[in-house]
Amino acid sequence: MTMPRGTELLGCEWAALHRDSERCERSALWIKLAAVALSVVALAMGFDAVLAMLLLAVLWLQEAIVRTGQARLGWRLLRVEALLRQPEPAPADACQLYSEWTAARPGTVQLLGEYLSHAWRPTVAFPYVALLALLAVNAAT
């Protein structure tokens, strides 16, 4: 039995990472849909605006956490693609997502900062900012 070549292993890793990145995308869209549904129900049923806004903030942060994980997958995808451009990538270069992430893992404060920086990306912040504003305006009237 021969050991798979580095190119084969990296190709399998790339496919798995890409699939997982797409799953993160779908998860983020479901979280956004839940945020919209929560806001509509809160407005229609007259829920406490502060509670609804806190729940909306939790969903926003949850999406930021998913997006941070997705960004890590994207970083590794780019690394795998660079390795695949090499003439003969080593089999040992494959399947190193967690080893590489652990070696570069930020501290708690930096990790929280990473979550917050993803939360403020326009593609993540939408629709949360608009929904929070809508709930705030509705509460003020």
Chain segment 107-132, per-residue pLDDT in tens:
999 999 999 999 999 999 999 999 99
Number of domains in the chain: 1
Range of the domain at 136: 6-140
Confidence of residue 65 (pLDDT cuts 50, 70, 90): very high
Mean pLDDT of 34-44: 97
Helix intervals (H) in the chain: 6-45, 49-84, 97-103, 108-119, 122-125, 128-140
Largest CA distance in the chain: 73
Domain-embedded: residue 1: no
- As a whole number of angstroms, the distance between CA 78 and CA 88 comes to 17
pTM of the model: 0.91
Confidence of residue 1 (pLDDT cuts 50, 70, 90): low
**Cα–chain-centroid distance for residue 65?**
5
- As a whole number of angstroms, the distance between CA 137 and CA 38 comes to 16
- As a whole number of angstroms, the distance between CA 2 and CA 54 comes to 56
Say whether pLDDT at 2 is over 80.
no
Domain-embedded: residue 84: yes
Say whether pLDDT at 85 is over 70.
yes
Say whether pLDDT at 31 is over 70.
yes
Give the pLDDT of residue 141: 85
Domain-embedded: residue 75: yes
Domain-embedded: residue 14: yes
Domain-embedded: residue 106: yes
Say whether pLDDT at 74 is over 70.
yes
Mean pLDDT of 50-71: 97
Domain-embedded: residue 125: yes
